[in-house]
Amino acid sequence: MCKLPLERTALKKYREAGKIARKVREDVRSFVREGMAVIEVCEWVEDKIRRLGGQPAFPCNVSINHIAAHYTSPPNDKSLIPEDSLVKVDIGVHMDGYIADTATTICFNPELKFLEETSMQALMKGIEIIQPGISTSEFGSAIQRFIESRGLKPISNLTGHQIDRYLIHAGKSLPNVSHFSLSKIREGEIFAIEPFVTTRDGAGRVRDGPPGNIYRLVKQKSVKDPEAKRVLTYIKNHYRTLPFAERWLRKVFPRKILDEAFQKLLRSRILMVYPVFVEAKGKPVAQAEHTVLITRNGCEVLT
């Protein structure tokens, strides 16, 4: 099966989304401070994306220490960036559904700096080896070997992923460990490469924590309740199949209406809520991520 090369306009939008995502990722590194409110970081990132002409492809994730991924602030979040913490900021931008997904780790603890550096170097390794024809299992083995050569552990059940229009996790996964798979990388595909790294005494995997504050439309089904219907229509029109935050809807609907509508939509399984992912032994996790376009000889980093 041969995939057609990306349409020119699609490629242009991927590149624009990538450029915005890169700018926000670079700037957020000097914005985040110990003691700052987490919600301030989330909203700063999301506002900056919009001011630069993009749309958030998902709520800004601010995942701290052993929380590996999928934390975003609920409305009125009181949590703060702790002292000596390892903070992962994961940023998604889309232009017309063409998504750039990128993440960075900000380290306030010199003893954990090695985790941040290794996740970044593992990402560079991934960028160096990815090319048409490589299998996802060869890719995963190489990343695992690299991380283990540094005396650390990859998180085996958090993976990079193929990206498609309005779909963050499309088609193929890109694990950071050796695994059995026949799937191969092809020219013209878009991938997020994202190694997650923990300490040697960590479990090297995440478990589901409590439900987070990130939601997504998962089922096409109508609802009778007029308020729930209004909220659902808004979600379909504004986010389609992309994840969103309750914070965003609070700016549009009164709290009481939203709370009831949300409960109805979750109960009827039209919406899903993502759990927060935590390192299974509670060890700190670092992450680095870029979105790349697979080219004839390798890849173009979009972010």
* Active centre residues (catalytic): 90, 101, 161, 169, 194, 289
Minimal distance in Å, beta carbon 290 to Mn ion? 10
**Which of 277, 242, 66 is CA-nearest to residue 157?**
277
The H-or-E segment that residue 163 falls in is strand 160-164
Told to check if 192 binds Mn ion by CB under 5 A, we report: yes
Beta bridge partners of 67: 278
The residues in 228-267 that bind Mn ion, with binding defined as CB under 5 A, are none
Per CB under 5 A, which region of 19-27, 29-37, 85-93, 142-150 contacts Mn ion? 85-93
**Binding track over 272-291 against Mn ion, x by CB under 5 A:** -----------------x--
Minimal distance in Å, beta carbon 76 to Mn ion? 25
| Torsion sign, CA atoms 13, 170, 159, 174 | negative
Q: What angle do CA 156, 162, 164 make, to 5 degrees?
A: 150
Q: How many residues in the shown chain lie near Mn ion by CB under 5 A?
A: 5
**Which of 138, 82, 143 is CA-nearest to residue 112?**
82
Minimal distance in Å, beta carbon 164 to Mn ion? 13
Decide whether 56 or 231 has the Cβ nearer to Mn ion: 56
Beta bridge partners of 192: 161, 291
The residues in 92-131 that bind Mn ion, with binding defined as CB under 5 A, are 101, 103
The H-or-E segment that residue 42 falls in is helix 38-51
Told to check if 90 binds Mn ion by CB under 5 A, we report: yes
**Sites of contact with Mn ion (CB under 5 A):** 90, 101, 103, 192, 289
